[in-house]
Structure 1
Amino acid sequence: GELEHRRVKRFYPKVNKSRFTAERQEQILFEMNRHYQRQLESDASGNTRQAPPLKGGSRESHHLQFDESEPLSYSDPKAHYHMSESNRNYINLPMWLGKNKGDPALEDFLPRLKDHVLTRLLGQAYDGDEQSFTSAECSNVIIFKDRIYCHKVLQVNYTTYDM
Structure 2
Amino acid sequence: MVKRYCFDTSGISNPLETMPEDIHKSLWAHFSAFVLDSYIAVTQEIFDEMCHVTGDIGGLINQCKSTMVLELGQPDWDWQGYILHSKRMLTDHRTCISEYTGGSAKTICLNDMTIIALAKTLGLPVVSMENPVKETGQTSKRKIPNICLAEGVEHLTFSDFLRREKLSF
Q: Normalising by structure 1, what TM-score?
A: 0.22
Question: Which entry has the higher C-alpha Rg, 1 or 2?
Answer: 1
